[in-house]
Amino acid sequence: MADPNIFEFFAALQHYPFLQRALLAGVVVAAVAAVLGVFVVLRNMSMIGDGLAHSAFGGVGFSLFAAGYAIFLTPLQGALLFAVSGGLIISLLVERRLVGGDTALGIVFSLGLGLGVVFISVAGKGLGVDIFSFLFGNILTVSVDDLGLIVVMAAAIGVVLAVFYQRYTAIAFDPESAQVLGIPVSALNTLLNVLTAITVVIAMKVVGVLLVSALMIVPPATALQIGRRLPTVSVLAVLLAMLAVFVGLLCSYVFDVATGGAVALVSLGVFLAVSMGRWLRPRNEGHAHAPLAPPVSKAFQP
């Protein structure tokens, strides 16, 4: 049998529900992760996705461990519990000035990964197929229930971001001035960490724990090199993330490679192409970019 080609992929997309669910789930997760990622990148907290992803891995391990004691907890529920807890721990450590942001991320990263390995080893299940699907993603196994949960959670995150968009814009560029204007910076930062934790969990099906930055960090980083205004950057980040999911799924089908890895490589490839284009552009054009952010007083209207 001949290897599948691009045209066969589009034909399969029309006939196979599992491919349709995979694409829809990937697009929805990409959109939410990209918008959220813009604010994460602007806060210089790009590693928070990886830190919370490894916390989620600890939750997956805990769900396997708890099953041995007749405690019913699905891997997704365990991942959500641990990821949100990790986000709250990061906020607590940073807000109390116990450690810096990077150090807090490193602590949560190590804690989640360590707990995950210990729980799995005690449970005696080893690193089976289900664990690998959480580590590297398995978008083709998205069920109708999974898709419904992803859409509902993504919609909730989108609503919260829409409500606080102006405030998060102000905080991202000048948190001190935002505080003076009466914006609850600490509470909103904690909320953003929780939203990031939820996004990491729903992204696990698409790219897995180890590659979550491919959707949350790389597309916003690429968009920030192109756009001059934050709304433009947000839209570009969403489009780039969706493109990475679609092309990654296409490459996975045509070349029979892991979908999560393909999505990550496509996202990184676009980033490198844009970076190379900016580097090769004449220097006099390189200074044409206007400041990305408006003054905080204009970004937020009390």
Give dist(CA 35, CA 51) in Å, integer.
Answer: 19
- When the pLDDT of each residue in the chain is averaged and rounded to a whole number, the result is 85
What is the predicted pLDDT for the residue at 98? 85
Q: Is residue 286 part of a domain?
A: no
When pLDDT is cut at 50, 70 and 90, the band that residue 204 belongs to is confident
- For residue 67, which amino acid is it? A
Q: Which residues contact 128 (CB under 8 A, 6 or more apart)?
A: none
Q: Is residue 139 part of a domain?
A: yes
Q: Which residues contact 186 (CB under 8 A, 6 or more apart)?
A: 91, 95
Name the token pair of 67: 């099953």
Asked whether residue 223 carries a pLDDT value surpassing 80, the answer given is yes
- CATH number of domain containing 211: 1.10.3470.10
Q: Is residue 151 part of a domain?
A: yes
What is the predicted pLDDT for the residue at 197? 93
Give dist(CA 259, CA 10) in Å, integer.
Answer: 16
Q: Is residue 183 part of a domain?
A: yes
**Chain segment 119-155, per-residue pLDDT in tens:** 888 876 544 446 777 777 788 888 898 899 899 999 9
Q: Is residue 287 part of a domain?
A: no
Alpha-carbon distance values, 108 to 57, 120, 219 (Å): 11, 18, 24
* Range among 200-204, 226-230, 244-248, 285-289 with highest mean pLDDT value: 244-248
Alpha-carbon distance values, 216 to 44, 138, 154, 194, 207 (Å): 13, 17, 13, 14, 11
When pLDDT is cut at 50, 70 and 90, the band that residue 298 belongs to is very low
SS3 152: helix
Q: Is residue 293 part of a domain?
A: no
**Chain segment 1-45, per-residue pLDDT in tens:** 445 678 888 898 999 999 999 999 999 999 999 999 999 999 888
* Number of structural domains in the chain: 1
Q: Is residue 262 part of a domain?
A: yes
Nearest to 124 by CA among 210, 57, 61: 61
What is the average per-residue pLDDT within 71-89?
89
Q: Is residue 301 part of a domain?
A: no
Range of the domain at 151: 6-274
